[in-house]
Structure 1
């Protein structure tokens, strides 16, 4: 059993590494072509049918790039298609979802204090939401509202925030944020698979047949490509969010998710504007910083917003070092099945990150981590599998703040 567990861990690592590699390839090519498209310049000497040109220098050489509105007079037989980067990114991402979250549903996907789902139910909700998300997005783009880019983006933003709230009602916080990334990435990859590449193939076929391509095909592909461009940065955040419980495991995580989308759009707007006009709208960075400060505040100030009462007089007693014994008992009872020299939780053969709570000294040494992971957020225990109570989490917060004198992060 131990050998299989080790194999599974290495399989997850290999798939994660592959996912990162192909994801870099997809994002890199996407960003490059958007920048290339926005940086095209016109002049009077361009060949007929050329929309614009661009000169670039790299690797000790110069590149002269022309973009044709439809195609050059003689369409070459060999065309380089940029599609496999997208497909392999989604396939490896879904494989990671299956290996980590489906196979380990009780630990990572399902939080029974949020919703007591059977494993098959959690997996069905996961896969179904990804498919429904693409269908809903595609229908919106094809609807009359799809003709108005700003209105469409506003509606899509509302849907994405609603999905973030919905995921947090059924999954663990970590799984909810991961699914926000998967939900968005599915839309992006499906855009390539169902719209952009098929439309391009139709255009090429029309040109080879001596026909005039339907301009609507190019316009539709362009719209989806722009959407992909603006969604990339939020997806990256959600894919990395598993390392930051203050983002995904606090009370207002769904609002944080919405603000992340806004920050991603603002940053992409900066670079897109710079590539297209040469101007640098630095206000986007200032706005992004303010939104990020808002995220930090949301992650650590739930009582201010919910009207919850401050700690009672009785709770204040836990701020005395003498009550560390109660904290130690809670941590050992709820966390030491994994965080021990010899873990006894099924499938865990080594203490995660080699953090152990075998004795009070080790618990004290990891006070800050316990405070963030189990006090300020609900990241630990994963999926709350050991049923840590709100009172125990409050005790951890009071204990840490009493020792440090810090009421924030």
Structure 2
């Protein structure tokens, strides 16, 4: 019953996380686009307007204006873009806790790397989020934060170091998701700790009849730009569990860093394009980086274990029953697994043959299953599975 409730909680939180994330990232992309398309008024209006834009959407015309700092009079109703960020982080954190903290023994701890107690793994995970924010915030407030290019290089290096360190102690997916959680925490904390408070200070100054201090807007803009560039890398991490050739490969921290560069480059191309600078070489550099990661990743992966002897089906059945069907069955027996992951059940001969190629990819080619190799599948067993699948995955007999 508890496993069933966890599955429904997972669905609800994941759905909420995706929807809130779409709203947050969409608003981030829109306001970056809006800022880059604003034009100075043709005639000086004397009301502090820095730029304006006319647009049309869904049959309606819109006239947006941006003030240099703030309007002279604050409107009665002012929309704050904050709950998109807060909801994304809260749902993401609850999802992280449900999958990797409640299910730490299955999804977070890899005892071949570090024999952690559950509380130690959770404390390390939470500590990485807090440390990530403190380091990032300190970097922003330092002289490094005033130089976007230098800041980007240093922050990228620190995230890469975090990825390397976490892959030494956590499961592959546990490490990847905590790198993503560090980035997501930084992005949400930017909104909660800097952007919204600074906007409130400006509003309070205007309402008090004071000239608003422009430093608050500059600080908020700095963090908004950082958030914009971090969106595509964190989105990749959200879907990385579908690609074991990345997260379960040797040097996985390096491939994560490389694809982070790809995401940053693509975002930079569109930011430049929105500002009226079409620079296809930037997009080409991103594409080249992607291909480079793919080629280096393929060359760095060890060849799957092989054998010249094709085992009989009874041997294959024994291997699968020993290592796979606790999770991949119509009625899983593994704690925390209420249904077969991705609907892949191997407890019947038909199901085993149907999913043979998927088994090869995960259990033989990348060795990413069983997760954390908790059942101790040997290379000889993987080689026998691979030989059977390559020979046609015939059942029976």
**Separation of aligned partners in 1, 2:293 and 2:314:** 34
Does the residue aligned with 2:54 lie in a helix, a strand or coil? strand
Superposition pairs of residues 257-268 of structure 1, within 5 angstroms: 257-268=256-267
Structure 2 residue 355 is matched with structure 1 residue 366: yes
Note the aligned Cα RMSD (angstroms).
Answer: 2.2
TM-score, normalisation: structure 2: 0.92
Are 2:311 and 2:387, in contact at CA under 8 Å, matched by a contact in 1? no
Match of residue 243 from structure 2: 244
Q: CA deviation at 1:337?
A: 1.8
**1:196-242 CA distance string (max 9 Å, x none):** 11111111112222222222221111111000000001111101112
Decide whether aligned partners of structure 1 residues 79 and 341 sit closer, same or farther in structure 2, where only a CA change above 3 A counts: closer
**1:66-105 CA distance string (max 9 Å, x none):** 1101122222122111111111110010010111111111
Are 1:247 and 1:299, in contact at CA under 8 Å, matched by a contact in 2? yes
Match of residue 188 from structure 2: 189
Are 1:250 and 1:376, in contact at CA under 8 Å, matched by a contact in 2? no
Match of residue 224 from structure 2: 225
Q: CA deviation at 1:260?
A: 1.6
Does the residue aligned with 2:275 lie in a helix, a strand or coil? helix
Are 2:7 and 2:338, in contact at CA under 8 Å, matched by a contact in 1? no
Match of residue 99 from structure 2: 100
Unaligned runs of 5+ in 1: 405-409
Q: CA deviation at 1:336?
A: 1.9
**Separation of aligned partners in 2, 1:349 and 1:271:** 42
Instruction: Report the number of matched residues.
Output: 392
Decide whether aligned partners of structure 1 residues 349 and 204 sit closer, same or farther in structure 2, where only a CA change above 3 A counts: closer
TM-score, normalisation: structure 1: 0.89
Does the residue aligned with 2:56 lie in a helix, a strand or coil? strand
**Separation of aligned partners in 1, 2:283 and 2:365:** 28
Match of residue 254 from structure 2: 255
Of residues 342, 346, 356, the one that matches 1:357 is 346
Q: CA deviation at 1:157?
A: 0.5
Q: CA deviation at 1:58?
A: 0.5
Does the residue aligned with 1:239 lie in a helix, a strand or coil? helix
Match of residue 323 from structure 2: 334
Match of residue 119 from structure 1: 118
**Separation of aligned partners in 1, 2:333 and 2:41:** 71
Does the residue aligned with 1:64 lie in a helix, a strand or coil? strand
Decide whether aligned partners of structure 1 residues 38 and 322 sit closer, same or farther in structure 2, where only a CA change above 3 A counts: same
Are 1:357 and 1:363, in contact at CA under 8 Å, matched by a contact in 2? yes
Match of residue 61 from structure 1: 60
**1:112-153 CA distance string (max 9 Å, x none):** 122211111111111110000000000011112112111111
Structure 2 residue 164 is matched with structure 1 residue 175: no
Of residues 12, 15, 20, the one that matches 2:13 is 15
**Separation of aligned partners in 2, 1:202 and 1:356:** 57
**Separation of aligned partners in 1, 2:284 and 2:317:** 43
Are 1:161 and 1:258, in contact at CA under 8 Å, matched by a contact in 2? yes
Does the residue aligned with 2:234 lie in a helix, a strand or coil? helix
